[in-house]
Structure 1
């Protein structure tokens, strides 16, 4: 089946890229944030004075009105991986002189220690704060702050001077969501915005076990901050073992929660991890063997469940992408049909143009024929008149002679009348 092959290809591609979706720390990856329009699974909402508004496809941390609002979203679970990527989609709208800020946090006990605070109102915290605001009256800045819990940001005389990296980014009233991508790998820490590098450092290494969260605050002229997507992906499915916080004497917790991937699937491990690895089975009590087998089975089931969730999420993403691709193909087909209709219209226009040209030529030919005929008639009439002109001149001479004789006769009559004898009575 073609669709099954597509899903298999997508799964293989995902495995090849070694990126795994952490659904417990993500929302909005399927363009759907909440189903009940009140809560977000695996996240806690906080707000002052009002809680953030949850819609089906986004969370409004601070509304357009009124101002002086605070809102936050905190993950219930911690991020127990050393290499991870956070894709964070948000949008900011507001009046011309509106202001506010939004922060992305990765901090220890962030839900309790930070809550709805911004980087300017938080006290001591341990972790990372990525701040997006209109720093120094600019159109927008993205800045990174680090703290090990020793600096009180709320009472610090110049919080802005504590930033370790920044870039300019005009984020307000874009009419579209902006995407912030935070990536920590084995040898680098990097922040991208809309697919372009903002800043990076090879000297930063954040520990595991911290909480992820987003906080926003608006001023009197409020900016509205909306979150559409918060997606966390990791390079592996198995949580990394904390090197300093783990208890090596607690074998049960180590095997259940912090066991490396190769041990979880029955691979080899060093003798320091499993002191009884070189002992024969007969030397180990049955209860200990059963407990060890039970722990291993539990760990295996845990990873199988995680794998099942990842496969389900991958299938869901593949279905979403497949539906989106189908919609785009349908839209493209409709556009192609419009192009076909345009080509037929162009053909008809060409035919009409040819008809107009033919009609114009016929009119010109008919006009030329009429003019030629008129010239011929005038020429014939002229010749006829020239041929009849002598006869006409004769008639004219007769008329003129008659008139002359009449005048002469009249003059003779008048002369004789005046020269005769007059009779008087």
Structure 2
């Protein structure tokens, strides 16, 4: 029966690869590309808050708390909830500060996190419902609440003083800010020196159907098979600095899930949700995958099958499982093809609308030319009317001037008469003066 070993192994590998596939959720991620913000003012699908100053958004990182001044708080919360039961989150952050600097860094997955938590730390938050992962220096000697040895919660090579990673859970019944010992509420813990490393640190949080785990820089910090976060909770990252401030910077927040579609249909805000007509078709391959995985017979040595009937039954079961897997992949491909065709039709409709708008815009040039021609004709008519009006004024002034000159010439005294009058008056005055002199000379003289 070794003849069928190669195709069965390939089919098993194919099924395993299909089951282990992960998909990026861009609505719950930032920093997976070169820039975390397109305009350096906001991060898509996230809400940034701070007290007293808002966090600074740079091209490749988000500065939750600056180096100066101290006593700052900053947070970033996702605007849409997590609707997948199996997921993973990778957070790249860096903490730098003076030798005696202080602060804490929190990663939340909580219900109504922005309203109930905001920028609060684990020591100042009230009642909240969800998970809190805290990275700080204030719990170097925290005792774990469970009876397991502490070494089980610590990763090899992370036994470094100067910081710790702790996990907290709350169902909304405990008010942390008034609790007498918040550190004792941690369900998992490992030591990790995170300050002034000169490089970003990576916190990886994983939720699978059978376990919950936290890794630090690729090494296991703690895990638990008893933790299951409900659906509909919101991711958030916050930081708080002391008077001697630590600067906390976030470079990446990447969320991946095990499927495109959410586990609960009909929830708004999921980019991966299929159209209403295709939700059942999109969900069916996932169910078929789970059923196929359950139907795959467990691996067994060849010596177990001693009879031809047992060998045939095993081969029959494996071939059926393989055909179910191929059928599931075919259905998934058909669903994807239908979605692609629908998107293609929608795109064609939008292109047609754009082309119609472009055609309407093409007639704008003709209208502008007509308007230009009308304006040019109106301008020419105005110039002609103005020229005619000026010419009429000139003609009227010229005629009036000629009429005035003729009237003066006809009704006035001639130049000869004027000269005669002037000369006659002068001669009369001279004669009178001569006569006066003669009479004065011929008159009797009086002597005293």
Range class of TM-score, shorter chain: 0.5 to 0.7
Within 5 A, what are the aligned runs for 1:6-405? 17-136=20-139, 138-241=161-264, 256=276, 259=279, 262-263=282-283, 301=339
CA RMSD after TM alignment: 3.4
- Cα distance per residue 1:12-45 (max 9 Å; x no partner): 9996741100000000011321121111000000
Matched residue, 2:324 = none
Q: TM-score, normalised by structure 1?
A: 0.56
Measure, in 2, the Cα distance between the counterparts of 1:101 and 1:193.
16
Matched residue, 1:382 = none
User: Does the CA contact (< 8 Å) of 1:87 and 1:181 recur in 2?
Assistant: yes
- Cα distance per residue 1:286-313 (max 9 Å; x no partner): xxxxxxxxxxx9xx759987xxxxxxxx
**Counterparts in 2 of 1:136 and 1:201: CA distance versus 1, 3 Å:** closer
Measure, in 2, the Cα distance between the counterparts of 1:238 and 1:193.
29
Which secondary structure state, in structure 2, belongs to the residue aligned with residue 161 of structure 1? helix
Measure, in 2, the Cα distance between the counterparts of 1:115 and 1:177.
24
Matched residue, 1:278 = none
Measure, in 2, the Cα distance between the counterparts of 1:257 and 1:106.
31
Measure, in 2, the Cα distance between the counterparts of 1:108 and 1:179.
24
Count of paired positions: 259
Which secondary structure state, in structure 2, belongs to the residue aligned with residue 166 of structure 1? strand
Q: TM-score, normalised by structure 2?
A: 0.53
User: Does the CA contact (< 8 Å) of 2:124 and 2:176 recur in 1?
Assistant: yes
**Counterparts in 2 of 1:124 and 1:256: CA distance versus 1, 3 Å:** farther
**Counterparts in 2 of 1:188 and 1:261: CA distance versus 1, 3 Å:** farther
Matched residue, 1:388 = none
Cα distance, 1:257 vs structure 2: 11
- Cα distance per residue 1:160-194 (max 9 Å; x no partner): 00000000000000000000000000000000000
Measure, in 2, the Cα distance between the counterparts of 1:104 and 1:27.
15
